[in-house]
Amino acid sequence: MTVRSDLLVIGAGLAGERVAIEAASRGSDVILLSLVPPRRSHSAAAQGGMQAALANMAAGADDSPDVHFVDTVKGSDWGCDQDVARLFTDSAPAAVRETAYWGVPWSRVVPGRREMPDGIWVEESEEKAGLIAARAFGGTQSWRACFASDGTGHSLMYALDNEVLRLGIAVHDRTEAVSLIQDGERCHGALIRDLRTGELRPYLARATVIATGGHGRIYGHSTNGVINDGSGMALALNTGVVPLGNMESVQFHPTGVVPGDILVSEACRGDGGYLLDASGHRFMPDYEPEKKELASRDVVSRCMMRHIRQGFGVESPYGSHLWLDLRHLGKDHIERNLQEVATITRDFLGINAVTELIPVRPTQHYSMGGIRTSIKGEAYGLEGLFAAGEAACWDLHGFNRLGGNSVAETIVAGKIVGASVAEYLESDDSPVRQNAITKLAHESIKQTEARIVKLRNGGSEHALVLRQRVAEVLTEKVGIFRTGSELDEAVMELSELLDRSTRLGLRSSGRGANPELADALRLPGIIRLAITIAQGAQMRTESRGSHYREDYPHRDDVNWLKRTLATWPEAGEGPSVTYEPVRITDLPPGDRGYGEGSKETEGALSDA
């Protein structure tokens, strides 16, 4: 049975739902697809905040979209598109207010004086009482991260999905896109596997948006939910014509808990928490005298790993870690503003964050890379295909994303891309070649059915085994510190795994909505994605943001002020890599004010 709509949105997290709401409000007929019920999307796990320059706080009174722009560009280590960053920072204030209008219970400004953990007094003004409050986050000059306690993602997800309900937008949950239906020039929708019945169904649409989030799970150890394995990025890569941008740009968050890799929010440090080593020493000021714990995530993560390498880590059965100390923030603050953090440490570690230290270690968290799009969200390479959110490389984040800018991106880009898709649908008057499209859909079913038969007839390799090895290779060789020789090894071994994935078989019957079959169908795309990450990192012989090459420890603006574009040509054995210039408008490359190579750190961070 073929399903038709104007617009097909794959992924119903914050970005996908914001696209759908905008397009539906403008009259488009939309179907939202989701692996899980939309409110289970990993967007709901975002804790800390959404950056928008409302300038409501005393410690952000001079804030503006301009300051937000500068922070974002410096955070990206000049890797972002400055037109996109400008559009984003200008649009964020109205976007956050709109979510307040939809019901997000944003925490509000309480007037009066209070003492911060570091002894500094702040006084919130009477004039701003009751407006949306904000907290400090890393790499920012102002308190700008709007928050709903520490359930920001949850509250936003529920408010947006409430709007989806109100507008009556069709949601088909428990569906997985297996491939895009396309002819090399234009995208006509996607082939879907129903995760209730196992049935294959073509969804044909005049426009398709991929908003499937990140790929963290392919690293194994990741803060991401188990469904975040980059399958939407792989859908685009598998077309052979759509490039992924900057896949080597991978963020490691300083505070994943050990063991379990569950994230505790950057708000912990934003609200005044410290990082301590085995001897209880607060070490971040040694490396970053100015920003301390609130340098950007790439910088803090590297400082932590250097400190562990120098033998100051805490040994544990789960490897070395450091401590996050919230005790001095006090019970009231933790229970009100860091409630989710306190629950996580209690339930999963048996630790009381009010009186005890929390074991943390940098953990894979976010992909700045993704499906390369224009400022309007159009994917390169296929007409009628768009992308938004973490799945996309819109390129707001360059080589390091600021905390609070991803939640903000989903809402802001979702609105912009939703409007641009609606516009595209209105203006598109190309003839609908119905017969040709039906034929393409039919071919895509036959292709996938053939793959399923082959898997059921059984090869000798198992998806799970290969997938675990992919995760090990990425974690060991394409992690926080990278070297040319290790990246060579990674590309080689991942390519071998890709070859082995042509001989996959199933241990179970593979009938119906079998999860083993789902894993097996997804695996080759995931391995291609992993190779694309490793290959991009191997070729980029400089260090920029989160991409840190120990053999090339400096940023190289002469040769590398450019974005990696990788496609995977049909029948090719590896990605085909080209580059495009990075758009610099207002802010030429300079000192970030933190991290290696900054005057502020005065050599505290050696490049060794």
List 597's β-bridge partners, or say none: none
**Minimum CB distance to other proteins smaller for 168 or for 581:** 168
Q: What is the CA radius of gyration of the chain?
A: 23
* Active-site hit among 42, 215, 253, 401: 253
State the nearest-atom distance from the C-beta of 292 to other proteins, in Å: 27
State the nearest-atom distance from the C-beta of 229 to other proteins, in Å: 12
Cα–Cα distance, 588 to 394 (Å, whole number): 20
Looking at residue 133, its amino acid is A
Helix, coil or strand: residue 191: strand
Type and span of the H or E element at 275: strand 274-276
SS (H, E, C) 548-601: EECCECCCCHHHHCEEEEEECCCCCCCCEEEEEECCCCCCCCCCCCCCCCCHHH
CB 421 within 8 A of CB 5: no
State the nearest-atom distance from the C-beta of 59 to other proteins, in Å: 17
Helix, coil or strand: residue 192: strand
**Minimum CB distance to other proteins smaller for 226 or for 558:** 226
Cα–Cα distance, 156 to 153 (Å, whole number): 5
Looking at residue 73, its amino acid is V
State the nearest-atom distance from the C-beta of 411 to other proteins, in Å: 13
Cα–Cα distance, 355 to 373 (Å, whole number): 47
**Minimum CB distance to other proteins smaller for 508 or for 578:** 508
Contact residues for other proteins (CB under 8 A)? Answer: 36-42, 44-45, 54, 94, 97-98, 100-103, 105-110, 129-133, 148-149, 151, 154-155, 158, 161-163, 165-166, 171, 173-174, 196-198, 225-227, 259-260, 262-263, 317, 336, 340, 343-344, 347-348, 464, 506-509, 511-516
Let me know if 269 is a catalytic residue. yes
State the nearest-atom distance from the C-beta of 44 to other proteins, in Å: 6
List 364's β-bridge partners, or say none: 222, 252
**Minimum CB distance to other proteins smaller for 105 or for 184:** 105
Cα–Cα distance, 400 to 368 (Å, whole number): 7
**Minimum CB distance to other proteins smaller for 109 or for 387:** 109
**Minimum CB distance to other proteins smaller for 173 or for 600:** 173
* Active-site hit among 42, 193, 221, 269: 269
State the nearest-atom distance from the C-beta of 570 to other proteins, in Å: 30
Nearest CA-CA partner of 410 in 166, 189, 214, 170: 214
State the nearest-atom distance from the C-beta of 94 to other proteins, in Å: 4
Cα–Cα distance, 24 to 198 (Å, whole number): 29
Q: Which residue has the tokens 């007929």?
A: 29
**Minimum CB distance to other proteins smaller for 226 or for 608:** 226
How does strand 200-210 pair with strand 385-387?
parallel
Residues known to be catalytic: 253, 269
